[in-house]
Structure 1
Amino acid sequence: MKTDYKIPFNEGTGELLEYPVHFIDIEWRDNYEFEAKMKVIGWGRGRSSITFTLMDEQGKKHATFASTFYEMIPHMSNGEISGTFTFCKRGQNYGLKLVSAKKTTTDVVREFVEAQHIYSPESIHQTDRVIENAYGLIEDLCDIAGYYVEEVEAER
């Protein structure tokens, strides 16, 4: 959930400023929520905090506090997370916060395994309901990965 305070961004790059400093032109924006896919690219230490750096698909870097990063970890796959994000403030510092995560392929498969009570490879092959219910699993996985797009030759 977004808050009502303004968030500092670097006027030149448009990236979030973790800490507003006087020697950078600051653009103060209303806080907002946005959809993005982020990848963990590093971490760093401040005077009193540890932050992790995430990069979105446009190449913009976003800092997040250790406490908010910890909340993201269960939703990550291979160091990436997709979902709805907003910004938060801790003391005089600003960072990224996850509002809601999109399901990963691991989430979808785990839900299927638990719903079908798959406890061994044999339970897949010896239980008709697993195969009968696999159609929904395949659809959910295609929703995440995307569907095949057939290339059509241009008419001559």
Structure 2
Amino acid sequence: MGRSTQLNTNKAKIAREQSTCMQLRLDGHTYRAIAELTGIPLSTVHDRIKDAITAEVTPKAHELRALECARLDNYLARLQPKVAKGDDRAINTAVRISESRRKLLGLDMPTRVEATVEHHEVTQQDLELQALIREAKARVTEEEAGLLEGDAS
């Protein structure tokens, strides 16, 4: 078998594996279960599914994004005469369209969040309180079990 025939055979095998792995994943199987069902190594199953998603889903997401951008362009073009006249509702709608476009295209800067972490040292008092809480919960559980047994008889 020549080199090009072998390459085509490997490509066909990989395509079949991608299709099989992806379908099993869509059917709800875990990666490990797919590996067991197909006899394909777990790391290869991961690769086949990732490649299938890249080949199938990513282009569709790009198409959908382009379609949605075209819709937003259409809405904005229709609003433009009212925006030019200063119509407040049209301006607000145009702003919301712009926000939608920015979100869709990922143009907005990430929201910056400032967080403060306070260190709390666990004291002996904290440990004693936790022990008291555990004991109280255990008593409540015992009492509930006793009540349930009384209901059952």
TM-score grouping bracket, smaller chain normalisation: 0.3 to 0.5
Larger radius of gyration: 2
TM-score, normalising length from structure 2?
0.32
Which structure is higher in RCO with an 8 Å CA cutoff and minimum separation 6? 1
Q: Say which structure is richer in strand.
A: 1
Q: Say which structure is richer in helix.
A: 2
TM-score, normalising length from structure 1?
0.32
